[in-house]
Structure 1
């Protein structure tokens, strides 16, 4: 046996011994884990026979719901079923205009975005006035609850256009109404309040802005609802796919624009141009998304890498790279096109026949 063969045999025996040691310790850890779990667990058979715990239970939720009484309220041509007779009586005593405002706000979820000075209005305007970020905005309309699942409609909004619409049409609200456990009180919107209990009215519940022109607010909310009702239904899956593709494209365009704006190499050793990948994109992107982003950037010397003493991921190219390029559009998959063409041209097969077996007792 040569020296090389002896050395290979030695390496093989060493590796076998190492593997045996790892497997033995893994078996010891598994045995310890099983032993520890058995000390804490109690068998189902012991609970049933010794402790006499019931093996199953039957809920009575549907039986209780069948006996409940609903109180209908007709607002804006729709019927709302209320379970509380006190709430139904209180809403029926209000004027038609007040009923419509409450219906559009609480039941249709049209928020205080159209009331000036409210947190919702200020937040909606902030992203249009103070930032240049791309904003995805949606209007959510809850339609009900089916078997424990909340259902509703999702409406995509053009945020820049809707922001200008809100800024132009918002109604002033100089006063706010503070609701407490035993009543409410009105005060100017600029007056500070901290939500503490009132000595006479009890615990604080919520507050709402009081519009100076309630008729204008009602008409504004009705127009918003009417405009959404005329929209054509869309494909949610296709929308999510397009949204996902748009995020990758927007990140590629941002990196290309950032590299063009650099006048000199900005890497630590001044030999490369680099732009930091968006931390928001890095958090939500998968490895396939990163690969797609890489393929859309038109640089031969491109690489994604981290930097010493710096956080995040960077797109780095050489200083001699031509930066006057545009984003490389992804090519359509030829395999997918051939597959779709083949499926469209293939004749539909007749359903397979099945035998009906009868069971004799």
Structure 2
């Protein structure tokens, strides 16, 4: 199947179906993803509407695309890890959130070639220069990237734990240019897809999908129990 995109879809329903077919353990991860996606769709905050999501055999991850393209950020390390360090089967997607309609999170979803995408991220990632941290008492501080962990620990005693960490690249303009080009390239090569056809293809290629098919066939072909009375001995 060539590059496809699914426009105007129920995002959580789509991802939930992927989880059911592919994620075997730690499905509770998806509950965290759903809460994040619902909150972002409700507030509609520009760059935060662009997400990367993966389904693994053991759990899921939902990450801001912007942060994945920043060298050595937490998100960058997570996205690269399963390509570089494990042999896990990964289904990966780019997501553009449109908002909430009739109580459902809607958006556009692009299935990704996970391993090829990681290699592109490695080539295009921008260096982090500073880290902006919001503390529990409302204090906002900016630290140099190479010492931010020590600085956060020093601030904790007076300002509480860190509530939000924002990576600041050496060049925000460069980062935004990379992201725009990636979005255009991704969208240009993708054709509108049929969700049911896509899910059917996953059933044939994923372990859980194959198991469900076997169980369905077995249930259909199983002979009904015989009600004939056994002859008396």
TM over 0.5: yes
| Other-structure match for 2:182 | 224
- How high is the TM-score relative to the length of structure 2? 0.58
| 2:98 is equivalent to residue 140 of structure 1 | no
Residues 242 and 171 from structure 1, CA distance in 2 versus in 1: closer, same or farther, beyond 3 angstroms?
Answer: same
Q: Indicate if the aligned counterparts of 2:70 and 2:76 stay in contact, CA closer than 8 A.
A: yes
Q: C-alpha root-mean-square deviation of aligned residues, in Å?
A: 3.1
Match runs of 1:136-215 below 5 Å: 136-180=91-135, 181-191=137-147, 192=149, 193=152, 199=158, 204-215=162-173
Instruction: Give the stretch that moved more between structures: 174-183 or 231-240.
Output: 174-183
Tell me the distance in 2 between the aligned counterparts of 1:202 and 1:114.
29
Residues 220 and 289 from structure 1, CA distance in 2 versus in 1: closer, same or farther, beyond 3 angstroms?
Answer: farther
Report the structure, 1 or 2, having the larger strand content: 2
Residues 234 and 208 from structure 1, CA distance in 2 versus in 1: closer, same or farther, beyond 3 angstroms?
Answer: same
| 2:71 is equivalent to residue 128 of structure 1 | no
Tell me the distance in 2 between the aligned counterparts of 1:163 and 1:207.
23
1:272-292 Cα deviation digits (max 9, x unpaired):
xxxxxxxxx49x933725969
| Other-structure match for 2:206 | 247
How far residue 247 of structure 1 moved from its aligned partner, in angstroms, is 1.7
How far residue 176 of structure 1 moved from its aligned partner, in angstroms, is 1.0
Tell me the distance in 2 between the aligned counterparts of 1:195 and 1:142.
37
- How high is the TM-score relative to the length of structure 1? 0.39
Structure 1 gaps of 5+ residues are 1-80, 84-101, 249-280, 293-361
Residues 287 and 235 from structure 1, CA distance in 2 versus in 1: closer, same or farther, beyond 3 angstroms?
Answer: closer
| Other-structure match for 1:325 | none
Residues 195 and 140 from structure 1, CA distance in 2 versus in 1: closer, same or farther, beyond 3 angstroms?
Answer: farther
Q: Indicate if the aligned counterparts of 1:138 and 1:154 stay in contact, CA closer than 8 A.
A: yes
Structure 2 gaps of 5+ residues are 1-41, 52-64, 219-233
How far residue 213 of structure 1 moved from its aligned partner, in angstroms, is 2.0
Residues 195 and 235 from structure 1, CA distance in 2 versus in 1: closer, same or farther, beyond 3 angstroms?
Answer: farther
Report the structure, 1 or 2, having the larger helix content: 2
Tell me the distance in 2 between the aligned counterparts of 1:203 and 1:132.
36
- Size of the alignment, in residue pairs? 159
| Other-structure match for 2:211 | 285
| 2:46 is equivalent to residue 103 of structure 1 | yes
Which residue of 49, 52, 68 maps to 1:113? 68
Tell me the distance in 2 between the aligned counterparts of 1:143 and 1:188.
34
**Structure with the greater alpha carbon radius of gyration:** 1
Q: Larger relative CO (CA 8 A, sep 6+): 1 or 2?
A: 2
